[in-house]
Amino acid sequence: MDQSTILMDPTAELSPAVRERLPRLDDLQGKTVGLLDISKARGDVFLDRLSELFKEKGVTVNRYRKPTFSRIAPAKLKQKIVSECDAVIEGLAD
Amino acid sequence: MKSMPQDGLVVVCKKDCETCVMTQDVYHEIGQGNLPVTIYSQDDPHFPDENVIYDQDLEVSFNLDIEVVPTLIRFENGVETDRTFSWDRAEWERVSAVNGLGLGLIDSKPGCGALNVMPGTLERLQVKYGDTGITARQIEIPPLQDDIEACYDRGWTDGLPVVPPTPERVLRMLNGTHRSPSEELGLVPPNRVSVTVQKVAINAVMAGCLPEYMPVVLAAVEAALLDEFCMHGLLATTWFSGPVVIVNGPITKKIGMNSEGNALGQGNRANATIGRALQLIIRNVGGGKPGGVDRACLGNPGKYTFCFAEREHDSPWPSLAQERGIPNEKSAVTLFAGDGVQGIMDQRSRDPESLAKSFAMSLLTIAHAKARMVSDAILVVSPEHSRLFGEANWGKNKLKEAIQSFTMTPGEEVVRGAQGVTEGMPEQFKNATLPKFKPDGLHIVRAGGNAGLFSAVIGGWVASGPIGSTAVTVEIKE
């Protein structure tokens, strides 16, 4: 798999060739937002502030934490977030 | 194309061929004339000597359309004027205009298959060097990304994995039809997008079809796009239905479709993938997806694929396609807007009247036990059941008429509120006598294994006829 693969587009070619993003939320009213700390330094400071701002707007906030920033999130954690949240914000860097 | 000699001889050979090895000295003997000789080796840069040109990527072989090695070609004024292949002394002497070639050799010996026409290689070369006629957008999947997952990510699948539509696979699929890749078949709902033969081929690859299924898939797509089939409404409905594909005629044997045991079930590639290809085309070309324009409340498993052949070879009846005007020796697809399968058990009837009544009683429950002239239906009659009608000389029409008459119901029993159930027919039918089906609303198809006194009901969309979908039949162009 050291070469890229070419696939022929099976669609009407009405959308961009790049993969489409999941639909964004229209508004946050009544929604639950997950804040995912990837265990990088001071990620908690950033997410704490976001949490305050969301709570002021009446948005429900759930907090999550990856065991380590160096590996992808465990499947159980991803499933938990998907089951409990409408959107997730991830603190990616220091 | 790499340049060929203006005037000269070209030999294409390979080491892995006894005839090429046997004739290797001849390639130099033909140089005794007044034409220069160029030797291309398909598999070894040192065969027959160091002066060959190694056609490693087979571009020259492809462009010269080599099928057998060794091949000798004569060029004059830049164009090919003569060619021979395999070893035949007289032929080589004629093409090279040199006499006394290979005097120690036998007079003739067959050559070997050229590498450029080996299975799989030809398509690769056509994609690389040829004019495939495929104009669909190419999407590059980066290295290390799984190609099947990439298809999921782009929303191209029905939930099951698809075969990644590489250019080589699409080209092979297009070899299954004589029709041009750019031919347009019509507008696919819901987005009313024109679908070309090549888009059908791409989706057929993904569905898992073999190239020889293409004529059936193309006919199924053409049928689905007919106005009276109403594919848009069928997709959009909250009801269960999807397109049910019934194939008739000689092609069903040629491509190995199942009309016998488990005909409505899993396990046969043609049945499974032809129905799936149609659904993928609606999804990918038309943009029709569950949760989008597909508003089905529950759907049914047949919306992955629902395709089978009629068991014709030992049938007492004309086939569905013949009933619908297709000549005997022709093949056809019939599309019906149908739901899932409901079984009918009758292991006791020994005369056609009793069995027809059994069928009628079971058919009465389609959509609702009080619904009349609402849904159409397909009655799939098994061999053991159809034998009873065959022995009594009951044709399909006689059976249909009998079923219709056995379903006749006083309107007062099925109007709204009757029998303590609010659902029912409008009050205006109270004094009428109502059959279950509209005229032409019941179709009979024979399928199934040798054993089993069971037949099947495939109920139809509640919007049948001019307000919704009418069954359509399209001849398959082979």
The answer, yes or no, to whether residue B241 has pLDDT greater than 90, is: yes
Cross-chain residue pair A1–B203, CB shorter than 8 Å: no
The model's confidence at residue B1, banded by pLDDT at 50, 70 and 90, is low
Residue of B138, B286, B287 lying closest to A8 (CB–CB): B138
Q: What angle do CA B275, B163, B245 make, to 5 degrees?
A: 5
pLDDT in tens, B210-221: 999 999 999 999
Token digits of residue B235 = 């997709």
Report DSSP state, residue B31: G
The model's confidence at residue A22, banded by pLDDT at 50, 70 and 90, is confident
Cross-chain residue pair B284–A3, CB shorter than 8 Å: no
Residue of A1, A7, A12 lying closest to B139 (CB–CB): A7
| Interchain CB contact of A8 with B (< 8 Å) | yes
The answer, yes or no, to whether residue B126 has pLDDT greater than 60, is: yes
| Interchain CB contact of A11 with B (< 8 Å) | yes
Give CB contacts under 8 A, 24+ apart, made by A49-54: A50/A89, A54/A28
Using a CB-CB distance cutoff of 8 angstroms, which residues of chain B are in contact with residue A3? 143
Residue of B143, B155, B165 lying closest to A7 (CB–CB): B165
For residue B260, the surrounding DSSP H or E stretch is none
- Would you tell me the crossing angle of helices B167-174 and B121-129 to the nearest 10 degrees? 100
pLDDT in tens, B287-299: 999 999 999 999 9
What's the CA dihedral at B306, B307, B313, B318 to 10 degrees?
80
Scanning every residue of chain A, which has its alpha carbon at the shortest distance from the alpha carbon of B204? Answer: A10
The model's confidence at residue B238, banded by pLDDT at 50, 70 and 90, is very high
pLDDT in tens, B314-348: 999 999 999 999 999 999 999 999 999 999 999 99
| Interchain CB contact of B142 with A (< 8 Å) | yes
Pairing of strands B184-188, B79-85: unpaired
B428 residue type, one letter: Q
Task: Taking residues B146-151, report their average pLDDT.
Answer: 96
Pick A92 or B289 by higher pLDDT. B289
Q: How far apart are the first and last CA of chain A?
A: 33
Q: Cβ neighbours of residue B80 under 8 Å, at least 6 residues apart?
A: B4, B73, B74
- Say whether B79 sits in a helix, a strand or coil: strand
Scanning every residue of chain A, which has its alpha carbon at the shortest distance from the alpha carbon of B127? Answer: A6
| Interchain CB contact of A23 with B (< 8 Å) | no
Per-residue confidence (pLDDT) for residue A93, from 0 to 100: 74
| Interchain CB contact of B143 with A (< 8 Å) | yes
Residue of A3, A8, A17 lying closest to B165 (CB–CB): A8
| Interchain CB contact of B206 with A (< 8 Å) | yes
Cross-chain residue pair A11–B285, CB shorter than 8 Å: yes
Q: What is the ipTM of this complex?
A: 0.85
Per-residue confidence (pLDDT) for residue B120, from 0 to 100: 85
Q: Cβ neighbours of residue B443 under 8 Å, at least 6 residues apart?
A: B320, B334, B336, B376, B377, B378, B379, B471
Cross-chain residue pair B138–A6, CB shorter than 8 Å: yes
* Least confident interval from A37-41, B138-142, B384-388: A37-41
The model's confidence at residue B383, banded by pLDDT at 50, 70 and 90, is very high
The model's confidence at residue A21, banded by pLDDT at 50, 70 and 90, is confident
Max Cα distance, chain B (Å): 104
Rounded to a whole number of angstroms, the distance from the CA of A23 to the nearest CA of chain B is 13
Q: Cβ neighbours of residue B86 under 8 Å, at least 6 residues apart?
A: B19, B68, B70, B108, B109, B110, B111
Q: How far is it, in rounded angstroms, from Cα B75 to Cα B62? A: 17
| Interchain CB contact of B291 with A (< 8 Å) | no
Token digits of residue B407 = 């379903």
Cross-chain residue pair A4–B141, CB shorter than 8 Å: yes
Per-residue confidence (pLDDT) for residue B2, from 0 to 100: 65
Q: How far is it, in rounded angstroms, from Cα B310 to Cα B84? A: 49
Using a CB-CB distance cutoff of 8 angstroms, which residues of chain A are in contact with residue B182? none
pLDDT in tens, A73-82: 899 999 999 9
Cross-chain residue pair A7–B287, CB shorter than 8 Å: no
Pairing of strands B68-69, A87-91: unpaired
Q: Contact B38/B11 with Cβ under 8 angstroms?
A: yes
Cross-chain residue pair A10–B287, CB shorter than 8 Å: no
Scanning every residue of chain B, which has its alpha carbon at the shortest distance from the alpha carbon of A19? Answer: B154
Test the B interface: residue of A11, A18, A19 with most B CBs within 10 Å: A11
pLDDT in tens, B354-378: 999 999 999 999 999 999 999 999 9
Q: Cβ neighbours of residue B273 under 8 Å, at least 6 residues apart?
A: B204, B207, B208, B209, B210, B213, B305
Q: Cβ neighbours of residue B104 under 8 Å, at least 6 residues apart?
A: none
Scanning every residue of chain A, which has its alpha carbon at the shortest distance from the alpha carbon of B207? Answer: A10
The answer, yes or no, to whether residue A71 has pLDDT greater than 90, is: no
Max Cα distance, chain A (Å): 50
Q: How far is it, in rounded angstroms, from Cα B279 to Cα B292? A: 15
Q: Contact B277/B203 with Cβ under 8 angstroms?
A: yes
Q: How far is it, in rounded angstroms, from Cα B382 to Cα B360? A: 16
Pairing of strands B472-475, B332-345: antiparallel
The answer, yes or no, to whether residue B273 has pLDDT greater than 70, is: yes
Per-residue confidence (pLDDT) for residue A39, from 0 to 100: 87
Task: Taking residues A19-38, report their average pLDDT.
Answer: 89
Closest CA to B391 of B350, B359, B444, B357: B350
β-bridge mates for residue B409, sequence order = B434
Task: Taking residues A52-61, report their average pLDDT.
Answer: 94
Rounded to a whole number of angstroms, the distance from the CA of A92 to the nearest CA of chain B is 22
Per-residue confidence (pLDDT) for residue A1, from 0 to 100: 47
Closest CA to B463 of B268, B232, B200, B258: B232
Using a CB-CB distance cutoff of 8 angstroms, which residues of chain A are in contact with residue B186? none
Q: Is the peptide bond before A67 cis (omega within 30 degrees of 0)?
A: no
**DSSP of B262-304, one letter per residue?**
TTTSS--HHHHHHHHHHHHHHHHTS---BTTTB--SS--GGGT
Q: What are phi and psi of B466, to 5 degrees?
A: -60, -25
Rounded to a whole number of angstroms, the distance from the CA of A57 to the nearest CA of chain B is 30
* Least confident interval from B81-95, B116-130, B333-347: B116-130
Rounded to a whole number of angstroms, the distance from the CA of B122 to the nearest CA of chain A is 17
Q: Quote the mean pLDDT of chain B.
A: 96
Using a CB-CB distance cutoff of 8 angstroms, which residues of chain A are in contact with residue B154? 11, 19-20
Pairing of strands A60-65, B442-446: unpaired
Scanning every residue of chain B, which has its alpha carbon at the shortest distance from the alpha carbon of A5? Answer: B141
